[in-house]
Structure 1
Amino acid sequence: MTNGSSPVYYKNPGLAAILSFFYMGLGQIYNGQIGKGVAFIVMYTISAFLIIILIGLITTPILWIYGMYDAYKSAEKINIDISRHHGSGGPV
């Protein structure tokens, strides 16, 4: 915490990916990317309904895997940005 700003917390990339594994978008929400998380939840919901007409069999796994990857990489990027701006040594 510097100059009266709010505390900054590192993100655990593995936890972000695991949260997205259990429910797409949760990893993004954990990372503080609320809009992106909600977008993934909406895309996943639409894709799940598309399973009924078979196209969802293709789109759902792709979105699910990308959601886990994105949550992991976003958490890593957030941690790098925190280290650069706050001079900390890494996640606690």
Structure 2
Amino acid sequence: MSSTTERYCRACGESVAPDTDVCPHCGVGTRTTDVGTPMAYCRDCGEEIRSAAEICPHCGVRQQPAPASFGSVESDLESLFRRNRGVVAAVASFFFPGLGQLLNREVVKGLLVFVGFVAASFSIVFGVGLILAPAVFVYGVYDAYRTGKRLETAAEGGRPHA
């Protein structure tokens, strides 16, 4: 007995590799339980194929939509950022001054806001920072929001705000 388990396609009975998702002989998904399905025609080459076939065994064109995968964290964050760019940038600047500008791809402005906030925070010792540090902080959050909203509107095809 071999160490690998030999599998067979439920539709055509041909031997398939254990890690195969689609039978290379008939095009039916090997993980499906739908075996006795009627025949259909390939939407590209017109050859007769099983209606449960995910990929045409003749031309290789996908017949059914790709299986819906759960959204990856990366794509979810990207869509969240794209739809709410101003809010995300403002929240980022709230927690780390200048980060919102970096998210909006304003690197120089982001570094200036960060350095300005740090310098203003150190100037609290002299009393000037009591007014300057909150002013730089609020400016960073507001500017990140305003720029993010402008970029969000431009990405949607609207006219950017002034």
Q: TM-score band (shorter)?
A: 0.7 to 0.9
Report 1:1-92 matches (<5 A).
10=82, 12-84=85-157
Matching residue of 2:61: none
Partner Cα separation in structure 2 for residue 23 and residue 52 of structure 1: 21
Deviations 1:62-84 (A, max 9, x none): 11111101000000111222233
Secondary structure of the structure 2 residue equivalent to 1:84? coil
> Aligned residues, how many?
77
Over aligned residues, Cα RMSD in angstroms? Answer: 1.6
Query: 2:157 aligns to what SS in structure 1?
Result: helix
Following the alignment from structure 1 to structure 2, what is the Cα–Cα distance between the partners of residues 54 and 68?
A: 23
Distance 1:82 1:36 in 2: 21
**Per-residue Cα deviation, 1:30-77 (whole angstroms, up to 9, x for no partner):** 111111100101111110110111100000001111110100000011
Corresponding residue for residue 88 of structure 1: none
Query: Normalised by the size of structure 1, how large is the TM-score?
Result: 0.76
Greater relative CO (CA pairs within 8 A, separation 6+) = 1
Greater fraction of residues in strand: 2
The answer on whether the counterparts of 2:89 and 2:103 sit within 8 Å (CA) in structure 1 is: yes
Partners of 2:105 and 2:85 in 1: how far apart? 12
TM-score of the two chains, using structure 2 as the length reference: 0.45
Q: Quote the Cα distance in structure 2 between the aligned partners of 1:84 and 1:12.
A: 15
Identity %: 32
Considering fraction of residues, name the structure with more helix.
1
Letter in 2 for 1:69: Y
Distance in 1 separating the partners of 2:150 and 2:132: 26
